[in-house]
Structure 1
């Protein structure tokens, strides 16, 4: 069952998000370590304006377990999405200069699909495809008609999944020193 993320999903969501952050080789995870990064994600998740805040996500729940999750936001909100993380870091005495992401990811006029992750135990069951179809709910709720995302050039399997869902490459991006294809599609009603 696909549903909106809830506050009580924090731990399972943080574990899924950590998979993505580790795959991206982000300095944030390396600097603080996996457990501290997970705690920061969990603490910030409670703020609906956070990049990975509960109000920005959908989950697929199977037998009471989070099988996958997807998060995103309107591009116009990109300047504020990491403020909850900054506040959390400050509250525990860490530098507020530390950033999770340092490069812009979204393009004006789109709802940006920031992250999609499937629990390893549930892979190969079509969960990613179902979540990609469901993001239209979030984009529509947020008043957007175009969905954008970035996919690592070194991940052709993910790119094929996005292409099957109607996304096409519209440009290139460098994020945290790694090359990405920027892809978009219209919201499907």
Structure 2
């Protein structure tokens, strides 16, 4: 069952988020320390109005436990959603250039899939596909023409998955020292 995420899902969602975004997690948290990074991500997950808030996520639940999640938002809101994280970086990051390297992954004209991950035990069971379709449905329901995401260029398996579902590369970017392909797919708007 896919449902909106809740603050109580953090114990399952945050490790999946870390797995999905890797080094970007340290950039977002302003620390290279794994435990501190997980604490910061969990704190922001519980708070509304930021990029990694539970408000921007859905989970697939099996037997009462989240086994996968998708995190997404309107690309035009990325600046406002990043401001709480940037404020933290300005006040505590050891690296004064961290704010300048903060990733701008989404474009204003798209509904952006920030992260998608499935627990190892549930991979290969269609969870990722269901979450991706739910994300696309949300994009259409909110009146967007484009669903978008980035995929690390070295992640051939994920790229093949997105291509098989109609996503096409339309650009490249660097995030946290890694090369990513920006991919988009048109979605049909739904009448509100």
TM class, shorter-chain normalised? 0.7 to 0.9
- The structural deviation recorded for 1:25 is 7.9
RMSD: 2.6
- The structural deviation recorded for 1:32 is 3.7
TM-score by length of 1: 0.86
Give the equivalent residue in structure 2 for 1:46: 46
Matched, 1:59 2:59: yes
State the Cα deviation string for residues 106-155 of structure 1 (Å, max 9, x = none): 12300111100111111111111111111023323443221111111101
SS in 1 for 2:143: coil
Matched, 1:68 2:73: no
- The structural deviation recorded for 1:48 is 2.8
Kindly report which structure 2 residues correspond to 1:5-20, keeping only aligned pairs within 5 A, or say none: 5-20=5-20
- The structural deviation recorded for 1:64 is 1.3
Name stretches of at least 5 consecutive residues in structure 2 with no aligned partner. Answer: none
Kindly report which structure 2 residues correspond to 1:116-131, keeping only aligned pairs within 5 A, or say none: 116-131=116-131
Distance in 1 (CA, whole Å) between partners of 2:74 and 2:20 is: 20
TM-score by length of 2: 0.85
- The structural deviation recorded for 1:49 is 2.0
Moved over 6 A (4+): none
Name stretches of at least 5 consecutive residues in structure 1 with no aligned partner. Answer: none
Are residues 83 and 100 of structure 1, via their aligned partners in 2, closer, same or farther at CA, if it must alter by over 3 Å? same
Distance in 1 (CA, whole Å) between partners of 2:101 and 2:142 is: 23
Distance in 2 (CA, whole Å) between partners of 1:131 and 1:59 is: 8
SS in 2 for 1:81: helix
User: Contact between 1:112 and 1:149, CA under 8 Å: does it hold in 2?
Assistant: yes
- How many residues end up aligned between the 2 structures? 187
